[in-house]
A and B are shown apart, each in its own frame.
Chain A
Amino acid sequence: MDILNALVAFLNFVFIPAAAYGAQLALGALGVTLIYGILRFSNFAHGDTMAFGTAITILTTWGLQSLGISLGVLPTALLALPVGIAATALLVLGTDRVVYRFYRAQKAAPIIFVMASVGVMFIMNGLTRLIIGVDDQRFDDGARFIINVRDFREWTGLAEGLALRSTQVLTLVVTAIVCGALFWFLNRTKKGKAMRAYSDNEDLALLSGIDPERVVRMTWIIAAALITIAGVLYGLDKSFRPFNYFQLLLPIFAAAIVGGLGSPLGAIAGGFLVAFSEVAVTYPWVKVAGYLAPGWQPDGLLQLLGTEYKFAVSFVILIVVLLFRPTGLFRGKSV
């Protein structure tokens, strides 16, 4: 038995990638859950908004790179991020003004909002295609690894290598900062408290003089920032392809619902839960098993599900939650 090697293989192939992916999903799910809490609908345009923000950030990154500006070891995209966030915030504020505000004034059923968000999704999808096309784009630069496989083997003398990519660490650090800032904002500032009050009880919030349109604007700006950051981190970690961002919609929704729609803490927990299940179920465990039980030669890869079915994992989690606890782990909104 070789516990150390098994542990390193586990960290390298399951824990670290899942943690980074979980952080990205958590940021995405926070956006969904905030919009759900305040505007009370599931925003189907979320994935494509994410793609739009990332596309703007990528273009800015390329512009900065052509000017010779870089951040050294950090990716230039961090410098371009504020531009992406600002552009996305303007876009979502614009769509709110043109599309959603009308239905809010009408007090339309949530499903009408969802419908409208599908229209917005089409437009954002088209915009992203127009701006950057449909192909894969890579835009990471700076240092690629914090620990690379060969160095790790030399330091430790283990057979199994461990790679820690800078984008993975960056994802976790940025997510921690963003979540910290968000919770500080929601719990400590007046605007944040107004947002929570509005989310809890719209009528009471109106009675106590909270301006609903301001709360809504605030929500869109925060959601735009969250999803642009999530999209850029995902793009840095993997690669940017608009269709993949559309497909992220399902794991993000699953994360938000698992945590409980409307609950920020739940969204974070849900993001990590979905990501860890997805990676754990689609990882071929044969290597780890080989270290833990030497001499045992399993026929297969000990992979529960092919990676092409990773969406099935989000779906099953979603179904289980809907069956047993529709309000989510952290008791979000039920209706």
Chain B
Amino acid sequence: MSSNRQAAAASPWRAPILFAVLALLFVLEGTVRNGMFSGSWNTSLAILNMGLISAITALGVNMQWGYAGLFNAGVVGFLALGGLAPVLVSLPPVEGAWAAGGPRLILALLVGLGTLALAKIAYTRTGRAWTVALVLLAGFVAYRWLFDPAVTAIEANNSARAGNIGGLGLPILLSWIVGGAFAAAAAWAVGKVALGLRSDYLAIATLGIGEIIVAVLRNENWLARGVMNVTSIPRPVPYEIDLQQNPAFVDFAASWGFDAAEASGIWVKLCYMSLFLVVLLAIILLAELALKSPWGRMMRAIRDNETAAEAMGKDVTARHLQIFILGSAVIGVAGAMMITLDGLMAPNSYNPLRYTFLIWVMVVVGGSGNNWGAVLGAVLIWFLWIKAEVWGPNLIGALVGPLPDGDVKSHLLNSAAHMRFIAMGLVLLLVLRFAPRGLVPER
């Protein structure tokens, strides 16, 4: 990190100009219809909404990487864990699920946690390996004895339509905070173990926890129905169909020259956009205030020279743990927001390339250490990622046009969709090498 910091001053107009260019791209996407843009405001806003969620994720990663130089390779896991919150908090309760095995399940989870705590106590008190092993074994047996029948009972309850423990029926916006708390708890556990060791151990440990969280979501049907997916997660905004049946809205849409179907889609997306913008701006505000405080200066001092900071009496590992938890909580909030936007929890969609490493490309391209840079990078890269799906095949089609029809041509055309992985890798490598401070450098 520190070795790549350049001392060049950037123009103060750089960020506003780049944001203006970005806005222009979205306006073009909304208005111009040709080979490059769709000309639909619905598409444009849909990309923007997901871009804003990516921006919040990127802010979380930027806290960890940009402020502290911590490499989190399990972003996908923290996102997925945050996404669990809307399912558990806001879904209406499943009839009979709690009675089938709820208390026993909670007890099993408590026993599981208690076992770990007891093992820790046994280790610090006695220091004998076999005592710890005995505690763990006994705890595991007790846990499985409590856990398995409870899970079987819950999953058997109305298994075609539910089979999960169900939610609490609380407002969906509350689940965003809970999502952050979930991710923060996981981050505490990982950080406690992997921080304070060599820098890439954290990367490897987070890679592991990411895979495990996604595996849990995929296989624990009682939790969120696993690969059967949870649909119809409540929304914080009106439904399109209600809007279309509301005469006042139809008139309002007609006065702007839209038909009701298109306008309702745009309206809903604008509502989401405002919600996301509020969260985004609140997080940026808090992050900027924190960065300008003595705490922020300490964080940067630690990042730029750990040894010196440690010599000044700063507890580097504790501060790293702190920022790792904070960053993960922000990622968790973004995960909950993403599930709210989709209205669907589909564990199979959590692909590390898309949700971990693409976010990293966003942060590095935008300018690590700069919140506005992370936001810019996130929205821009997300726009390009989506559009590359259209542009890639068009480009390949134009390139292979002169080739005779045959296996090679069809193979190239079919694999055009994979080109964007190569493109993103190239973008990351080029920025890392030639502009390591990113598009909007840290001040």
Give residues in A with beta carbon < 8 Å to B: 41-42, 44, 99, 102, 106-112, 114-116, 118-127, 129-130, 133-134, 246-247, 249-250, 253-254, 257, 300, 304, 306, 308-309, 311-312, 314-315, 318-319, 322-323, 326, 334-335
With most chain A CB atoms within 10 A of its CB, the pick from B200, B421, B426 is B200
Q: Which of A42, A99, A247 contacts B211 (CB 8 A)?
A: A247
Is there contact, CB below 8 Å, between B199 and A318? no
B71 close to A (CB within 8 Å): yes
Is there contact, CB below 8 Å, between B429 and A119? yes
Q: Which of A107, A110, A125 contacts B200 (CB 8 A)?
A: A110
Secondary structure at the A interface, as helix, strand, loop or mixed, is: helix
Closest chain-B Cβ to A40's Cβ sits at a distance in Å of: 10
Please judge, given known A-B contacts A129-B421, A308-B219, A322-B194, whether A119 and B148 are in contact too, CB under 8 Å: no
Is there contact, CB below 8 Å, between A308 and B432? no
Is there contact, CB below 8 Å, between A306 and B219? yes
Closest chain-B Cβ to A253's Cβ sits at a distance in Å of: 5
Residues of A near B198 (CB, < 8 A) are: 110, 326, 334-335
Residues of A near B205 (CB, < 8 A) are: 315, 318-319, 322
Q: Which of B1, B208, B352 contacts A315 (CB 8 A)?
A: B208
Of all chain B residues, which has the CB nearest A43? Answer: B200
Residues of A near B216 (CB, < 8 A) are: 309
Please judge, given known A-B contacts A121-B357, A253-B204, A311-B208, whether A108 and B197 are in contact too, CB under 8 Å: no
Is there contact, CB below 8 Å, between B418 and A42? no
Is there contact, CB below 8 Å, between B197 and A122? no
With the chains together, A107 CA to B3 CA distance in Å?
8
With the chains together, A111 CA to B209 CA distance in Å?
19
What are 21 sample pairs from A and B whose C-beta atoms fall under 8 A apart? Answer: A42-B204, A44-B203, A106-B3, A109-B69, A110-B200, A112-B4, A114-B71, A115-B364, A116-B429, A122-B353, A125-B353, A125-B425, A129-B418, A130-B415, A130-B418, A250-B211, A253-B204, A257-B204, A309-B219, A311-B212, A326-B197
Of all chain A residues, which has the CB nearest B360? Answer: A118
B207 close to A (CB within 8 Å): yes
Please judge, given known A-B contacts A123-B422, A249-B207, whether A118 and B428 are in contact too, CB under 8 Å: yes
Please judge, given known A-B contacts A106-B3, A112-B432, whether A250 and B219 are in contact too, CB under 8 Å: no
Of all chain B residues, which has the CB nearest A41? Answer: B200
B435 close to A (CB within 8 Å): no
Is there contact, CB below 8 Å, between B207 and A115? no
Is there contact, CB below 8 Å, between A257 and B208? no
B412-440 interface with A by 8 A CB criterion: 415, 418-426, 428-429, 432-433
With the chains together, A136 CA to B150 CA distance in Å?
36
Is there contact, CB below 8 Å, between B419 and A44? no
B295 close to A (CB within 8 Å): no
Of all chain B residues, which has the CB nearest A112? Answer: B4
With the chains together, A173 CA to B199 CA distance in Å?
36
Question: Is the interface on chain B under 10, 10 to 19, 20 to 34, or 35 or more residues?
Answer: 35 or more
B225 close to A (CB within 8 Å): no
B2 close to A (CB within 8 Å): yes
With the chains together, A102 CA to B215 CA distance in Å?
38
With most chain A CB atoms within 10 A of its CB, the pick from B2, B73, B140, B208 is B208
B201 close to A (CB within 8 Å): yes
Closest chain-B Cβ to A26's Cβ sits at a distance in Å of: 18
Is there contact, CB below 8 Å, between A123 and B219? no
Is there contact, CB below 8 Å, between B193 and A322? yes
Of all chain B residues, which has the CB nearest A124? Answer: B425
Residues of A near B194 (CB, < 8 A) are: 322
Is there contact, CB below 8 Å, between A118 and B207? no
Is there contact, CB below 8 Å, between A122 and B428? yes
Residues of B near A116 (CB, < 8 A) are: 429, 432-433
B218 close to A (CB within 8 Å): yes
Residues of A near B3 (CB, < 8 A) are: 106-109, 112
Is there contact, CB below 8 Å, between A122 and B1? no
Residues of B near A314 (CB, < 8 A) are: 208
